[in-house]
Amino acid sequence: MDSTIKALHKNVMEWLAGPTGSVTIHVALILALLFLVDLSIREKDSEIEVKVVEIDQQKLDELMEIKPPEELPEMVDTVTPPDVDVDMTPPEIEDFSAAPVMDEVTDLVIASDAISPIIMKNLAPGNMANRSGAGRAASIAAFGGKWGQYAEAAVLRALEWLRINQNPNGSWGTHDKEAMTGLGILTFLAHGETTASEKYGPTVERAIRFLVARQNEKGEFCKTDTTAGTYSQAICVYAISEAYGMTRIPSLKGAMEKGVQVLIDGQQSKGGYDYKFAKGDRRDTSLGGWCCQAMKAAYIGGAENPKLHEAMEKAVEDMKSAQKTDDGAFYYSIVGRSHSTHSITAVAVLSLQLLGHGNDKETRAGLNFLGGADCKWDSPPEWPMYAWYYISQTKFHQGGANWSNWNNQFAPQFIRAQQVSEDKKVGFWTSAGLTLKKGTTGREDMHPVYATTLAALTLQVYYRFLPTYQPIETKAIDQKSDDDVKIEIL
């Protein structure tokens, strides 16, 4: 019996010393360790630090009460543009001479993988889905307050006025036609109208053809050796980039990339922009704002220019460098030697918001300064249409009571100021600045197209931007220890 036990013991020891036994022992040890670790984790309470930040917002019940205008347009149940006579002319406006038709019209191949209105409804979140159909209606209801539907009616009248007053060659206006056409395209695109739109498709297509035909081999839509030409280049790039982003017409991608490359090459080493794309000491917040909007639109549209993202980040640093340290306002040009206003501050703030820096301290300080802005048609600031175009967007991105209060200011002012046809199907704007005495405001009298497009774009803020512009990059919240919960902002 003893010999049998000794033999069994010997066999077991030999098995344990062998490969199979060794593996078995190691597996058992690992399982035991895992069990012990699990118990220790269960006994330890997880802690998450929560910081409560009080936001200084005006209470909604303290917002100014404004009664609707006595005569508002009759609203329809849908947001579909009303049918009007194609031969109808707008009321009481100047008979502008039409620009000559171009001898050659550029070849624009209207072929796309996302041109159908049905496809447009299924665009992924983060693109431009809220510009059309149910998305637009929902955004108007969510952000327009009691003025949303009235504002949309004004936009529809403006679109019809722009359709009727388009020049035969697809442009708008009598001078600075490239810039005016770019603003016109942006206005239709903001409403979800593309080359595929049943009613406004031909209008949009003619305008795009005009701009593409104007672009030279360098990527310039107009000569950039003038102040106006520099602004026009940025606005045209903005329009073509959004057009490509919404239609995916292949031939527009090259036009977009060539156009935005002019902006990248024209940028100063510190990120600023100046008239004629000069590389001296002067930098210009106003011009930089249009360039920022254009570059962001190209970035979203899928432009593959190698230094595009770098140019946007440099533009952010330039805007921040122009901020005053005392009140959060931004300088117009040379820091410390130029004026700062609500309009210029709004340009800088919007640029920071669009380029993914909406929560930076510089942006917040600028928004605090903009708390003193107002919208009074009979007492406008310098270049009012331009100023309110930017201020409205910054307030919309800011949201909350700040937006509600601003919406209750600007929306009724814009709605009342539109010059409307007798049947209320066509409408346009002239600049509020034209009511001032000569010499007290900048020139906003170039053409009603300027005031009409900026006014319509301002009223389209409810649905134009929210799904379109996203932060450029994602950043993780700073961690205090390995035990903290890691959260990434997407």
What is the secondary structure of 410-445 as a DSSP string? Answer: HHHHHHHHSEE-TTSS-EE---GGGGSPTTSS----
Residue with tokens 């040890």: 29
CA atoms within 13 Å, Cβ hemisphere of 489? 11
DSSP secondary structure letters along 100-135:
PPPSS--------SS-SHHHHTTPPTTSSGGGSHHH
Q: Beta partners for 476?
A: 488
pLDDT digits (tens, 9 = 90+) for 155-170: 999 999 999 999 999 9
Query: What is the average pLDDT score of the chain?
Result: 78
Contact between 239 and 190 under an 8 Å Cβ cutoff? The reply is: no
What is the average pLDDT across 404-418?
96
**Of residues 84 and 344, more confidently modeled:** 344
Q: Cα(387)–Cα(404) distance, rounded to whole angstroms?
A: 18
pLDDT of 434 reads 73
Q: Cα(95)–Cα(447) distance, rounded to whole angstroms?
A: 11
**Of residues 100 and 318, more confidently modeled:** 318
Greatest Cα-to-Cα distance within the chain, rounded to the nearest angstrom? 123
CA nearest neighbour of 388 among 378, 380, 400? 380
Q: Which of 29-38, 154-163, 249-258 has the lowest mean pLDDT?
A: 29-38
**Of residues 43 and 137, more confidently modeled:** 137
What is the average pLDDT across 182-205?
97
How do the residues of the chain divide into helix, strand and coil, expressed in percent and rounded to 5? 55, 0, 45
Contacts of 194 (CB under 8 A, 6+ apart): 115, 120, 188, 201, 204, 243, 246, 247
The alpha carbon of residue 434 and the mean position of all alpha carbons in its chain are separated, in whole angstroms, by: 28
**How deeply is 78 buried, as exposed, middle or buried, from its count of CB atoms within 10 A (0-12, 13-18, 19+)?**
exposed
pLDDT of 475 reads 42
pTM over 0.75: no
SS3 of 476, please?
Answer: strand
pLDDT of 134 reads 87
Contacts of 160 (CB under 8 A, 6+ apart): 81, 82, 84, 425, 426, 427
The answer on pLDDT for 91 being more than 70 is no
Binned at pLDDT 50, 70 and 90, residue 468 comes out as very low
The answer on pLDDT for 363 being more than 70 is yes
Domains in the chain and their CATH numbers?
Answer: 106-464 (1.50.10.20)
The answer on pLDDT for 471 being more than 60 is no
Token couple for 61: 């019940």
pLDDT of 175 reads 85
Please count the residues of the chain.
490
Token couple for 376: 């009074």
Percent of the chain at pLDDT above 90? 60
Binned at pLDDT 50, 70 and 90, residue 104 comes out as very low
**Of residues 86 and 155, more confidently modeled:** 155
The answer on pLDDT for 284 being more than 60 is yes
The answer on pLDDT for 63 being more than 60 is no
Token couple for 83: 């049918």
User: What interhelical angle do 448-459 and 177-190 show, nearest 10?
Assistant: 30
**What is the DSSP code (8-state) at residue 192?**
T
Binned at pLDDT 50, 70 and 90, residue 3 comes out as low
Contact between 158 and 418 under an 8 Å Cβ cutoff? The reply is: yes
What is the average pLDDT across 360-381?
95
Contacts of 120 (CB under 8 A, 6+ apart): 114, 128, 129, 132, 192, 194, 196, 246
The answer on pLDDT for 433 being more than 80 is no
SS3 of 280, please?
Answer: coil
What is the average pLDDT across 367-392?
94
Top mean pLDDT of 1-10, 29-38, 195-204 is at: 195-204
pLDDT of 4 reads 60
The alpha carbon of residue 94 and the mean position of all alpha carbons in its chain are separated, in whole angstroms, by: 33
Percent of the chain at pLDDT above 70? 66
Q: Which of 43-57, 179-193, 259-273, 295-309 has the lowest mean pLDDT?
A: 43-57
Q: Beta partners for 323?
A: 330
The answer on pLDDT for 356 being more than 70 is yes
SS3 of 330, please?
Answer: strand
Q: Which of 22-36, 82-96, 183-197 has the lowest mean pLDDT?
A: 82-96
What is the average pLDDT across 174-187?
95
pLDDT of 179 reads 96
> How many CB atoms sit inside 10 A of residue 452's CB?
29
pLDDT digits (tens, 9 = 90+) for 105-159: 344 554 443 333 323 333 333 457 788 888 899 999 999 999 999 999 999 999 9
Q: Which of 221-230, 288-297, 458-467, 475-484 has the lowest mean pLDDT?
A: 475-484
What is the average pLDDT across 443-447?
61
CA distance to 64, 129, 130, 201, 365, per residue, from 125 (Å): 34, 7, 9, 24, 30
What is the average pLDDT across 276-305?
96
Q: Cα(184)–Cα(173) distance, rounded to whole angstroms?
A: 10
**Parallel, antiparallel, or unpaired for β 427-428 and 419-420?**
antiparallel
The answer on pLDDT for 289 being more than 90 is yes
Q: Cα(322)–Cα(310) distance, rounded to whole angstroms?
A: 19
Q: Which of 88-102, 135-149, 169-183, 352-366 has the lowest mean pLDDT?
A: 88-102
pLDDT of 132 reads 83
Helix and strand numbers (H, E) in the chain are 17, 2
Go through 186-208 and write b for each residue having 16 or more CB atoms within 10 A of its CB, e for each that does not.
bbbbbbbbbbbbeebbebbbbbb
What is the average pLDDT across 318-344?
90
Contact between 350 and 362 under an 8 Å Cβ cutoff? The reply is: no
